[in-house]
Structure 1
Amino acid sequence: MNETPEPGRRDRELSRRTVLMAGGATAVAVGLGGALAVDASADDDTAADICYTLTSETVEGPYYIDADKIRQDVTEDQDGIPLTLTLKVIDAETCKPLKDAAVDIWHCNAVGVYSGYEASGSGGGGGGGPAPTGTPTGTPTGTPTGTPTGAPPSGGPGGGGGGHQEPTDDSRYLRGTWRTDKRGYVTFRTVFPGWYQGRCVHIHVKVHVDGAWTDAGYEGGRTCHTGQLFFAEKAVLLTEDVEPYSANTTTRTTLDEDTIYPGNGHAGGLLYLTYDRRHIARGVRARLTLGVAPDETHDGS
């Protein structure tokens, strides 16, 4: 025998399902007294307009190394807040996931140093060395002659743009490549990045397509996306009191001050983040959908 729902029961059930579909994270946040910081729109897979939004291209920066480190866990021996980064790569025109794409990530450690470039210290394009000491002596004489030639130096103090720099050492921490699954997903385990002179906190990313996966790694193909992933200020501020980030004495550039972040939110690489704002040291989960044009080449040069 079918029971007749009591008045209001069906409405309550529908309301409950609606809440659950909106995301269980909301209920968790309430249970923790609001300590869990969650972006309620983090389920970007269901956003209809995300399929048709190309993720902004940015410069590659000077510290890319095509090292073929095929791995999901890029942490090595680096200290820092655990970060799980999940990316979904889709064709921005068709909305279909790109499977078997190669995704590279690389970023600095908690005190702003990139592997392979430890001689640069924390300061981007060579800006990490000690400041000159002493008082200059003598007075320049004569009049400059001739006309300057060539392009101006690139990169700036923060190493955010400009041409590639050759590595100074063999370290390769916080770098890696992994392939997307049939749904376009790829996940990395790393640490929350620190900061260095002239740049906000960020992670570099590249997406390669039409290559071949071999025992040696990923070969051939082309780079269809070069971008950067960014972190909201409220999360970065919490890291400043956590070791070893608290040992980073470099003046931090905020998201709004950064000259590379395009300022267009998630389409520009701003990550969705989940973390306990009372205990961010326990770990952060970050995710984003990357809408790319697989038939184009964007190598960030």
Structure 2
Amino acid sequence: MTDTQEPSQQRDVTRRKVLAVGGAAVAAVGVGGTAAAGGAFADEPRGGSDDACYVLTTETTEGPYYIDADKIRRDITEDQDGIPLALTLKVIDADTCRPLRNAAVDIWHCNAVGIYSGYEAMSGGGPGGGTPPSGTPTGEPPTGAPTGGPGGGGGGHQEPTDDERYLRGTWRTDRHGEVTFRTVFPGWYQGRCVHIHVKVHVDGEWTDAGYEGGHTCHTGQLFFDEKSVLAAAEVEPYASNDTVRTTLDEDTIYPDNGHEGGLLYLKYDRRKIARGVRARLTMGVAPDETHDSTDTFPGSGPSSAPSSSSSQSAS
């Protein structure tokens, strides 16, 4: 990754600026105390993910609820209730397998009851008096490409309806290409499985004001296995979310290709998941390409061509 770009380079550069709110200092985030004790991350390759070379992580749709980041922080929890989640992402060049340092990583997701900040009047979910989700969700599973308005899955980017920004944040990767966020285990809403949205921006500049310039080289989503979701569903406030739950297998956005498609490695105590979960994933990206938003759905495979930021998207 270079700090400057030659005029001859054929890149679709998106001008973007991240402002640190009020110029406040950002608190460092550690993972100690947030994750339960236990063994290795589930199904993680022996020797750790750092020793392996990775293929491109699948590009997926941006969704209607993206807000160009205005929170430079690693702790994005704010006042949201839920199971503590320490999320560590490592970003590498899928061609050279070298870590990408100083990249800007955005994440955003709904809260425990399915609400997105900035879109509280539009997003789905919410507490209720119904029966907590079980291993076999009721109703017909979704089929085909997502359709309908926000909350159900389809439609292009929506303008925010409020000033809330919980469970959203941006931070820079270190010399190992890693960044760790502190948040809560996401909930669910109609038509989607449990997931976290992610973007990776490169070739920009970190300033006192935040992150400026560059382009988006990866837009994707991160997913949770069913065992972890079922364990979380027994804990409040997740247990009060009576929205019909879509499983990982039923989801129309998950590309069904495991960790390459964004399935997280997880570590937690199944008997005491309320104490916290640790999640990690190495993401292979193409830093010279632009993937600002995409309509890529399962069956299409990873997108390798630049896509317009005005693409239709699902949540």
* TM-score when normalising by structure 1: 0.75
Rate the CA distance shift 1:90–1:37 in 2: closer, same or farther, 3 A. Answer: closer
Would you tell me which structure has more helix in proportion to its own residues? Answer: 1
Q: Is the 8 A contact 1:89 1:292 kept in 2?
A: yes
Corresponding residue for 1:22?
none
Structure 2 matches for 1:27-46, cutoff 5 A?
29=38, 38-41=41-44, 43-46=48-51
Q: Would you say how many aligned residue pairs link Structure 1 and Structure 2?
A: 239
Give the alignment's Cα RMSD to 1 decimal: 2.1
Structure 2 matches for 1:263-278, cutoff 5 A?
263-278=256-271
Runs of 4+ aligned residues of structure 1 deviating over 2 Å after TM superposition are 153-162
SS in 1 for 2:229: helix
Whether 1:205 aligns to 2:210 is: no
Q: 1:66 aligned to 68, 75, 82, which one?
A: 68
Sequence identity percentage: 80
Rate the CA distance shift 1:78–1:102 in 2: closer, same or farther, 3 A. Answer: same
CA distance in 2, matches of 1:154, 1:122: 15
Rate the CA distance shift 1:191–1:60 in 2: closer, same or farther, 3 A. Answer: same
Letter in 2 for 1:96: R
Q: 1:91 aligned to 93, 100, 120, which one?
A: 93
SS in 2 for 1:222: strand
Shift of 1:241: 1.1
Provide, for residues 215-252 of structure 1, a one-character-per-residue CA deviation record: whole Å limited to 9, x for no partner. 11111100000000000000000111101001101000
Shift of 1:44: 1.6
Q: Which has the larger radius of gyration?
A: 1
Q: 2:236 aligned to 221, 237, 243, which one?
A: 243
Shift of 1:158: 4.2
Q: Is the 8 A contact 2:123 2:150 kept in 1?
A: no
Corresponding residue for 1:172?
165
Corresponding residue for 1:9?
none
Corresponding residue for 1:139?
none
**What stretches of structure 2 of length at least 5 have no aligned partner?**
1-36, 127-145, 294-310
CA distance in 2, matches of 1:215, 1:161: 37
CA distance in 2, matches of 1:211, 1:86: 22
Rate the CA distance shift 1:157–1:210 in 2: closer, same or farther, 3 A. Answer: closer
Letter in 2 for 1:88: K
SS in 1 for 2:75: coil
Rate the CA distance shift 1:46–1:160 in 2: closer, same or farther, 3 A. Answer: farther
Rate the CA distance shift 1:113–1:270 in 2: closer, same or farther, 3 A. Answer: same
